[in-house]
Structure 1
Amino acid sequence: MNTRRGYLYVRPGPSPISQFILFNNHKGGLSVFICSSITGRWSEELGGTAAKSTAQLSYLKNGPSPSERLLYAHSGTRDSVQKALDAIFMDYEAYGNPWFRGIEARTKPGHLLYEGLQWLDRYADRLTPVIWEEIESKLKEVQFKISRLEHPLFDALKKHLQDSYDHVASSKEERQSVPKLALHLLEYAALASAPLKSVPSQASS
């Protein structure tokens, strides 16, 4: 996944979501990654949360596969490249669009992402750029291990999301990723008020 050597397209998404499609050309084929992000920025992190997530298109279709099956093969000729692009567009309609729609649905009532966005609205006056700088500093102190991160607003948002389990649709995977979702939401709040740096890619659970 290389945004510098690939072609990155922005697809209009429903507020506050930005949607991206990345094409990378490799020896023997094309790779395609899609990203949904409320921060308005491309994310290198595969998987992620409903707030910021990236997936490989061929993985959505085939699941875990040998590396060559994750590429849309071509030999470099015009016809072979066109054939690869045709396959990409078909898979995008069949697997990419539903993936984006699934994330869009989570911005609506009855989902954890919606609950988190509502919480941000209630505490907007406290979510200043300085708060994000504090959180970023603490992340560095704990070597980007989110499970060790402590900050009053981060802890409060995380608790709110955990308390929402009983009245929203959430999978086991979503519940396990609540700390990361809280962090992505706070990043979004900071970026909405100032052009700050995004969460370091090495941040992990």
Structure 2
Amino acid sequence: MEIHNATYLVSSAKVSQCPQPDKPEYAFIGRSNVGKSSLINMLTNNAKLAKVSKTPGKTTLINHFLINGERNADTPWYLVDLPGYGFAKRSQAQRAAWQKMLADYFQQRINLQTVFVLIDSRLSPQKIDLEFLAQLGEWGIPFNIVFTKADKNTQSETARNAKAFVNRMKEEWEYIPRTFITSTVKFTGRKDMLGYIEELNADFDPNAIAG
């Protein structure tokens, strides 16, 4: 897949404010500071699309971007930048509002094809990530794992941490979804992730959504 254009559409505080669910949609989420904005910019080849910040918790809304929405034959689709989970310095009320917003989004967004859950490849398996995946499982939401920041490790360290995470998942999960190793510096994983999105786009039936 080639990305010809990527356009910011809207930031929504609730799922009812999101664009019409008439295109395949892919959500990106992870712990605060996992490299989500950098990954989105790498995938779209647009360094300014998602705002990159060293301050955790800067994303607070459901941010929709339209991919390949102009002048081309490729299937247009939505890329969604979601607030991170974890240690952002926000009030309990703000965190509760985020949790409700995300729960509504995941359970009500009928065109959502998969959630790309970002995991820091430099770390051993973290409880907060495993708990988040368990919640997606309870809701029946499809997801894939994206190990980020591979350039900040040796290849063997990245492979070891990724394998450890998958092995922890195998303790609770019968099926392990496709995983990706990424580096925004070296553009590692970009081709594989876009190819996977292209596969899912090919299976998307807007008539089924409308029905």
Calculate the TM-score normalised by the size of structure 2: 0.30
More helix by share: 1
Q: Specify which structure has the bigger relative contact order, considering alpha-carbon pairs within 8 angstroms and separated by 6 or more residues.
A: 2
More strand by share: 2
Q: Which has the larger radius of gyration?
A: 1
